[in-house]
Structure 1
């Protein structure tokens, strides 16, 4: 246990304190989008709807921040570990692969937690969004549980083993997914066929769950089923890809 805690501390230092880009991409960018879309680009939105818009867009940017941390940061961090032979060092140490990935997951979930809190603080200061402590904790916890799926996607992308391809895939997944899921603007503004696709995405269903928590409205089981199906699919692909790479001798045991 002490070795696991020590490894987790090392991961915090090298991923957070030595990676200044985290503060820009995982925290600052969603905050900028939130301020932009709630204080500047609000022309045509009725004043009576602004309160709901400010709250709903808070949820959207919390999920978007977790996409940046869960997919982009995860994929690039794991790829860097492989290219720098840090993963080999871990393999040769007393820590198992399971402990390595668990330690990484703790760090990455913590980063998502910090991002969620930072955006919430901005929403409270800038738009006077009111949330009780209990409601805030429930919202953040539900959001973090949902975004564990995003971390799995990041792990899967890292299996590509090429920095250029990893960067391409993360961009091709994160930004289009944010758009069609209705995180950047309401999904109702999109064509009907695109709405149908967007509503199948896990990030859209997670936003539905988060908004129901925020507004204290009844949840729909369909959203949870959607996330569970996506979780099973991504996990199955991840396990299959891992077995294929081990069979080819790409992954060091």
Structure 2
């Protein structure tokens, strides 16, 4: 257990404390979007509806920040571990391989927690949004749990083992996913066929769960089941590909 905690401590320092890209990209980009669409580009929104819009868009930017951190940061970090041979160093420790990934998943969840709290503070201090501590905490907690399937997507992308391929997959997945799931603008603005696709995404399902908590509504079990199915599907695929790559390496040797 002490070795596992030591590994978590090392990963915390190198992935979060020394990772300037996290603060500049995963946090600042969603904050800029939030300030732009909740404070500047609000012409035409009635004053009575402005607070609701600011709160709803805050939820979207929290999830968008976690989307960036869970896929792009995860994929790039794990790829850097491989290119710098840090993963080989980890393999030489007495810890089993699953703890290598578990220690990183915990750090990535912490990274998402930090970004979520940061964006919430912007909403509180800039737009004077007021919610009970229980509601704020529940929204953040559910969001962090709901990002686990996204983290597995990031792990899956990192298995491409090629920087160009990983960057291409990140761009092909993250930004279209943010658009069609309604994080950048309401999903109702898109064509019906695109709405049908967007409603199947984990980010749309997570957004609806958070919106239900925000407005005191009953959470639709359909969205909870959807996230669970995403987790099982992506987790199983990642496990199978990891085992296949390991078998292939052993076969080559």
- Cα separation, 2, equivalents of 1:97 and 1:29: 34
Distance 1:233 1:42, change over 3 A: same
What residue in structure 2 maps to residue 148 of structure 1? 148
How big is the shift at 1:102? Answer: 1.0
What residue in structure 2 maps to residue 224 of structure 1? 224
Mapping for residues 68-87 of structure 1, pairs under 5 Å? 68-87=68-87
User: How many residues of Structure 1 are paired with residues of Structure 2 in the alignment?
Assistant: 252
How big is the shift at 1:250? Answer: 7.3
- Cα separation, 1, equivalents of 2:121 and 2:50: 18
What residue in structure 1 maps to residue 184 of structure 2? 184
- Cα separation, 2, equivalents of 1:88 and 1:114: 29
What residue in structure 2 maps to residue 64 of structure 1? 64
Verify: 1:17 aligned to 2:17, yes or no.
yes
How big is the shift at 1:251? Answer: 11
How big is the shift at 1:48? Answer: 1.8
- Cα separation, 2, equivalents of 1:227 and 1:209: 10
- Cα separation, 2, equivalents of 1:226 and 1:251: 37
- Answer whether contact 1:67 1:147 (CA < 8 A) is retained: yes
What residue in structure 2 maps to residue 198 of structure 1? 198
TM-score for both structures, normalised by structure 1: 0.97
Cα deviation per residue 1:188-223 (whole Å; 9 max; x = unaligned)? 111111111111111001000001111111111111
What residue in structure 1 maps to residue 162 of structure 2? 162
| 5+ residue gaps, structure 1 | none
What residue in structure 2 maps to residue 35 of structure 1? 35
| 5+ residue gaps, structure 2 | none
Cα deviation per residue 1:1-33 (whole Å; 9 max; x = unaligned)? 111111111101111222211111111111000
What residue in structure 2 maps to residue 110 of structure 1? 110
How big is the shift at 1:167? Answer: 0.8
How big is the shift at 1:162? Answer: 0.3
- Cα separation, 1, equivalents of 2:207 and 2:167: 25
How big is the shift at 1:175? Answer: 0.4
> Any runs of at least 4 consecutive aligned residues in structure 1 with deviations exceeding 4 A, and if so which?
none
- Cα separation, 2, equivalents of 1:235 and 1:99: 15
- Cα separation, 2, equivalents of 1:200 and 1:250: 38
Distance 1:4 1:211, change over 3 A: same
- Cα separation, 1, equivalents of 2:233 and 2:244: 17
What residue in structure 2 maps to residue 123 of structure 1? 123
How big is the shift at 1:182? Answer: 0.3
**Partner SS, residue 45 of structure 1:** coil
- Cα separation, 2, equivalents of 1:250 and 1:131: 55
Distance 1:9 1:191, change over 3 A: same
